[in-house]
Amino acid sequence: MMTSTATRATRPPATAKPRRNLARIIAIETKFEFLKLFRLPIYSVAVLAFPLMFYLVFGSLYGGFEAQGMSTAKYMVATFGAAGVLSAAMFAFGVGVASERGQGWMRLKRVSPMPPLAYFASKIGMSLLFGVLVVVIVTLAGVITQGVRFEFLEWLRLLGTLLLGVFPFAALGLLIGFLFGPNSAPMVLNLVYMPMAFASGLWMPITILPQSIQNIAQYLPTYHYAQLALGAIGAQPLASPATHYLVLAGFTVVFLSLAVWAYWRDEGKTYG
Amino acid sequence: MTNHVLERRGSDAAPPPTTKDASRPSAAPTAQAATQAATQAAAQPTTQAATPVVAELSGVTKRFGDVTALDDVDLQVRSGEVLAILGPNGSGKTTAVSLLLGLMRPTTGTATLFGSHPTDMAAKVRVGAVLQISGVPATLTVREHLASFSVYYPNPLPVDEVIAMTSLTEVANRQYGKLSGGQKQRLHFAIAMIGNPDLLFLDEPTTGLDVESRRSFWLQVRQFLAGGRTVVLTTHYLEEADALADRIVLLDHGRVLAEGTPASIKARTAGRRIRAVTRLDDATLKALPGVVRLERIGAAAELLSTAAEDTVRSLLIRDENLSDLEVTGVGLEDAFLSYTRNNHTNGASA
C-alpha cells in the first residue's frame, strides 16, 4: 500500500512530453466555452435571436425613416449589431462568472494549473465568435428584408468597430459577475442592459428619442459605442470619434478596476 | 451527530495495528494494541523524519474579519501518506485546504506546496483536488470536461483511462447536467485525477452521498493510492477518516487538538466502553476503578473505562443483579468527543 513512488512505472518523467502550450490551452478553452454557451438556449437564443427579432420588428416599423443622414434600416443594422455584441460579452462574463463562482467551479479552475489568462481569454474569444455571428445575422436580415447595401470594406469596418465593444462590456459583465450571485446576476444584467441599450439609441435611433433621454445617453458607454459603429458606416457624427473612443476606454478602465476590487472582496467568502 | 457513522461500532474486529502500513483498516484497540499504538505514536517523529514533506502549513493563522478560522496551525503532509483532517463543520478544515491550494493567503504564517508557494505552476501541476463544489458547467459532456482540464497538465492521464477508472464509460458523452448525483461526484474525482497528480486533496468528498456511493468512492480512492500517491482528506465523517487515513489531525475551532494514527488517537482516549443495566447510583459508578466518564442511556449506564477488566470486576461484585453487560471498543467518534469536550471545558473555565 505505502510503497514508494518508484512503483509508478506507467508515469513518464516530467520532462518527457512538454505539451503545455498557452496558445493551445486558450484555443481549446475557447472551443469548450463556445460549446458550453451555444448549447445553453437561454444564452444563445437571447444573444442571437433577440437582436434579429428586434431588427425585424423595428425595421419593418421604422425602416423607412432617416437618422443621422442614413436610412434607419441601415442605421439599425449597426445598432442592433451593437446590442448583440454587447449582450454577448456582458452575459457571457456576467452570467458565466456569477454561476461559475457560485458553483465553486472557479475555485476548481484556480486550483488547477490553468493559466489565469486562459479563463478570461477564452471568454473574450467566445464573445468575439458570438459577436461575429450576431453581426452576420443582423446584416443578412437588413440586406434581405430591407434591401440595405454595404460595401465590403464598409461592412468590415463596422464589424471591427462592433467587435471592439466586447472589451468594455466584458469588463462590465465581469464586475456584475463578481458582485452578484448566480441567481441575481442575470436579472441585474438585464436591468442594466435594457434601459442602457434603449436610452443609447440601440433600439430606436437616438435622434428620435426625447431630448431628456439624449442628454442621459451622453453618460452611457453604450451610446458612445453605438456612435462609433454608426461612424464606421458613414453616419453624420454627433461628436468626434476620439471623444467616443476616450469615453469607452475610460469606462473599460473603471469597470475593470472595479471588477478586480470585487474579485478580491470575494476571496474570503467561503470558509469552514 | 448520531448519523450512520456510528453504525460500525461493534464490528471492530480487525487485527491490531502492527506497522503503519497495515494499520489502515480500523480496529478497536485491545489493551495491547493500544499500548503498541501509543509506543508507535511516540516513535513516529524518528520514522517520519525521513519522509519528505510535500505540503505544509507552518504557524498559520487565518482570519476573516472577526472570525479566526485557523489559529496558529502547524500541519505537515508527508509523501505517500493519507492524512485526514477531521473536525466538525466550521473547524477550519476547508480553510486549511484552501491555504495549501493557494486559494487564500494566510493572515500570518506560511503555506508551502512541494517546497514552493502554493500558487506556483510547478506545484500546481502535481496536485489534483476534489473541492466542495455544487457543480461544473451543465452543458459540457463528461469527456469534454476532462479534455478541457487535461490540457493544463504536462503529463495528463489519457481521458479514456480516467473515464474507465471512474466508471463513467457509459455516460462519457452525456452532458454534466444529465448525470446522476453519484456520476457527478465521480466526474469531480475524474477531473482531480486527469493531471496524474502526486498529491490529491479531497475536501469532504462524500458529503451528501449515500452509504453505498460513499463506500464505492473509498474503493476508488484506494485504487488511486495503489500508485503511491499522497492524499489529504478533510471530513467530518469519523468513519471515513478511520477507513482511509494513515494519520489523523483533529481540528476544532481552528486549532489542532491532536494528531496521530487512527489507532494512537483511539489509544489516547480511555480504552473501553462498558454498558450495563445496574442499580448502582452515579456516585458509586464514577468511583469504580478506571472509570473516566458516565452516561445514562435509558435504563442502562454507559461507562468509559481505562481499565475495563477492573471496572467490570468491581461492577459484578457490587451489583449481583447486573444485566445486559456489554463491553465494546472505543471508536474514533468517542476519541473525538472526548477531545473536543475537554477543549471546550478548558475554554469555558479559563
Domain with B81 in it: what CATH number? 3.40.50.300
Please tell me the predicted confidence (pLDDT) of residue A2. Answer: 40
Mark whether B179 and B301 lie in a shared domain: no
- Kindly state whether A152 is in contact with chain B, defined as any CB-CB distance less than 8 angstroms: no
- High-pLDDT (> 70) share of chain A, %: 90
Taking a C-beta distance cutoff of 8 angstroms, is the pair B323, B277 a contact? yes
- Kindly state whether A28 is in contact with chain B, defined as any CB-CB distance less than 8 angstroms: yes
Mark whether B299 and B173 lie in a shared domain: no
Mark whether B201 and B328 lie in a shared domain: no
Mark whether B76 and B143 lie in a shared domain: yes
Report chain A residues whose CB lies below 8 A from the CB of B111: none
Mark whether B116 and B256 lie in a shared domain: yes
Nearest CA in chain B to A38: B139
Mark whether B236 and B286 lie in a shared domain: no
- Kindly report the nearest CA distance between residue B191 and chain A, in angstroms: 9
Short-list B20, B11, B75, B85, CA closest to B46: B20
- Kindly state whether A9 is in contact with chain B, defined as any CB-CB distance less than 8 angstroms: no
pLDDT digits (tens, 9 = 90+) for A155-178: 999 999 999 999 999 999 999 999
pLDDT digits (tens, 9 = 90+) for A256-270: 999 888 887 765 454
Mark whether B77 and B212 lie in a shared domain: yes
Q: Is B297 helix (H, G, I), strand (E, B) or coil?
A: strand
Taking a C-beta distance cutoff of 8 angstroms, is the pair A32, A54 a contact? no
pLDDT digits (tens, 9 = 90+) for A34-48: 999 999 888 888 889
Probe site for chain A from B51, B85, B103, B247 (most A CB atoms < 10 A):
B103
Report chain A residues whose CB lies below 8 A from the CB of B246: 2
Report chain B residues whose CB lies below 8 A from the CB of A7: 227-228
Mark whether B129 and B157 lie in a shared domain: yes
Report residue A255's pLDDT band, with 50, 70 and 90 as the boundaries.
very high
More confidently predicted of A196 and B305: A196
Q: Cβ-count burial of B332 within 10 angstroms (0-12 exposed, 13-18 middle, 19+ buried)?
A: buried
Look at residue B16 and tell me if it is in a domain: no
Mark whether B224 and B129 lie in a shared domain: yes
Please tell me the predicted confidence (pLDDT) of residue B292. Answer: 80
- Inter-chain touch B139–A7, beta carbons under 8 Å: no
Domain boundary among B240, B267, B294: B267
Please tell me the predicted confidence (pLDDT) of residue B333. Answer: 65
Residues in Cβ contact with B20 at an 8 Å cutoff, skipping those fewer than 6 apart = A2, B40, B47, B246, B261
Q: Which amino acid is at B293?
A: R
Mark whether B249 and B122 lie in a shared domain: yes
Short-list A113, A4, A10, A16, CA closest to B191: A113
Look at residue B341 and tell me if it is in a domain: no
Domain with B283 in it: what CATH number? 3.30.70
Please tell me the predicted confidence (pLDDT) of residue B15. Answer: 37
φ and ψ at B113, to 5 degrees?
-135, 120
Taking a C-beta distance cutoff of 8 angstroms, is the pair B78, B51 a contact? yes
Look at residue B24 and tell me if it is in a domain: no
- In this structure, the strands spanning B247-252 and B82-86 are parallel
Q: Above 0.90 for ipTM, yes or no?
A: no
User: Which range of residues forms the domain containing residue B299?
Assistant: 272-333
Report chain A residues whose CB lies below 8 A from the CB of B103: 107, 110-111
Mark whether B112 and B133 lie in a shared domain: yes
Short-list B316, B304, B311, CA closest to B273: B304
Query: What's the domain count of chain B?
Result: 2
Is the pLDDT reported for residue A15 higher than 60?
A: no
Short-list B99, B136, B103, CA closest to B254: B99
Q: Give mean pLDDT in consecutive 10-residue pieces for chain B, a chain of 350 residues.
A: 34 37 40 44 48 92 90 93 88 92 92 93 93 90 96 94 93 95 90 94 84 82 79 86 88 88 71 85 88 84 84 89 83 64 45
Mark whether B286 and B138 lie in a shared domain: no
- Kindly report the nearest CA distance between residue A126 and chain B, in angstroms: 15
pLDDT digits (tens, 9 = 90+) for A107-134: 899 899 998 888 889 999 999 999 999 9
